[in-house]
């Protein structure tokens, strides 16, 4: 029997996946209606988290943040048997992942953080990406249990909080991408280009394909052989800002990035590759 604590969109998806495999599943959620709705797929809703985990082969947690995880674990604690296995798929802080792993080990519970890059459909269909890191013996033990729930299980090594760190890094990139789309749509509005016409641009221009190579170039710190000089990129940023200002449209991402470009130019990097703006964060750079 498997328990899921937290049956929001992602937790419900995991419940569907486990039931499709024929697993017996108990579910608990702070809002009971979400757990009760899963009775339709054969899951057993339980009102009390301690009762939900009692006798479970393993417990999966899918809640919002560190505080919610700690609260759920505290409420469930009376039901944990010695050696209980807890698999936490929530997005957390690195400090939280470290502290919980150590604290629950002292209490005889094997806590393993395994955050995901998944939407609800991924969880239901066992696709997407799941991250794992930490104690080698525990990772080896739980990997065969987790692999069927995801399209790809990525082991990030012995660092306890590596999975938490990588999840935050990935989510930051997604936020930056959406911020970029937001500014693109805002600038398009300023220049009387419809959203549908903007979408047409990406039928012909696919910057995503260049992401891995671009990042490797930044890591190589090869700024002396520019493909686009910083000064020219800054000129284009001024043109974009002028178009937005003329139409009274506010941009959110560009002004902050333009300020970073100005700082790099002031440091004498105007004629280096425009990715020199990341120089301070590349290993070995000052």
Dump pLDDT digits (tens) for 111-170: 999 999 999 999 999 999 999 999 999 999 999 999 999 999 999 999 999 999 999 999
Burial class for 56, CB neighbours closer than 10 Å (0-12, 13-18, 19+): buried
Determine the pLDDT at residue 284.
52
What pTM was estimated for this model as a whole? 0.94
pLDDT tens across 159-189, in order? 999 999 999 999 999 999 999 999 999 999 9
Give the distance, in angstroms, between the CA of residue 35 and the centroid of all CA atoms in the same chain: 24
Which domains occur in the chain, in start order?
Answer: 2-160 (3.40.50.720), 196-281 (1.10.1040.10)
The sign one gets for the Cα dihedral 170, 4, 110, 22 is negative
pLDDT band at 286 (very low <50, low <70, confident <90, very high): very low
Mean pLDDT of 31-40: 97
Asked whether the beta carbons of 253 and 209 are under 8 A apart, the reply is: no
> Could you tell me how many residues make up the chain?
286
pLDDT tens across 43-95, in order? 999 999 999 999 999 999 999 999 999 999 999 999 999 999 999 999 999 99
3-state secondary structure of 209: helix
Q: How far apart (Å, rounded) are the C-alpha atoms in residues 241 and 187?
A: 8
8 torsion bin: left (phi>0), alpha (psi -120 to 50), beta (else): beta
pLDDT band at 285 (very low <50, low <70, confident <90, very high): very low
3-state secondary structure of 106: helix
Cα–Cα distance list, 235 to 10, 231, 270 (Å): 44, 6, 11
């Amino acid at each position: 029997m498997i328990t899921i604590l937290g049956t929001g969109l992602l937790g419900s998806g995991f419940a569907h996946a486990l039931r499709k495999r024929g697993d017996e599943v108990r579910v608990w959620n702070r809002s009971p209606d979400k757990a009760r709705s899963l009775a339709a797929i054969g899951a057993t809703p339980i009102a009390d988290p301690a009762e939900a985990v009692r006798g479970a082969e393993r417990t999966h947690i899918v809640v919002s943040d560190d505080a919610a995880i700690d609260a759920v674990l505290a409420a469930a604690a009376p039901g944990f048997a010695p050696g209980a296995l807890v698999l936490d798929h929530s997005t957390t802080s690195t400090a939280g992942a470290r502290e919980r792993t150590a604290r629950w080990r002292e209490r005889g519970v094997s806590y393993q953080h395994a955050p995901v890059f998944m939407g609800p459909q991924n969880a239901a269909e066992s696709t997407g990406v799941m991250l794992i890191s930490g104690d080698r013996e525990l990772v080896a033990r739980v990997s065969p249990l987790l692999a069927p729930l995801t399209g790809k299980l990525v082991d990030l090594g012995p660092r306890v909080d590596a999975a938490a760190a990588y999840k935050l890094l990935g989510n930051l990139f997604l936020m930056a991408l959406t911020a970029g789309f937001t500014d693109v749509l805002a600038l398009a509005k300023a220049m009387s280009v419809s959203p549908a016409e903007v979408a047409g641009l990406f039928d012909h221009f696919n910057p995503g394909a260049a992401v891995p190579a671009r990042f490797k170039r930044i890591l190589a710190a090869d700024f002396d052989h520019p493909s686009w000089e910083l000064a020219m990129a800054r000129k284009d940023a001024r043109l974009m800002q002028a178009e937005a200002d003329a139409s009274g449209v506010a941009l959110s991402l560009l002004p902050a990035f333009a300020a970073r470009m100005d700082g790099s130019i002031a440091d004498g990097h105007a004629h280096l590759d425009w990715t020199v703006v990341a120089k301070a964060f590349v290993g070995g750079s000052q």
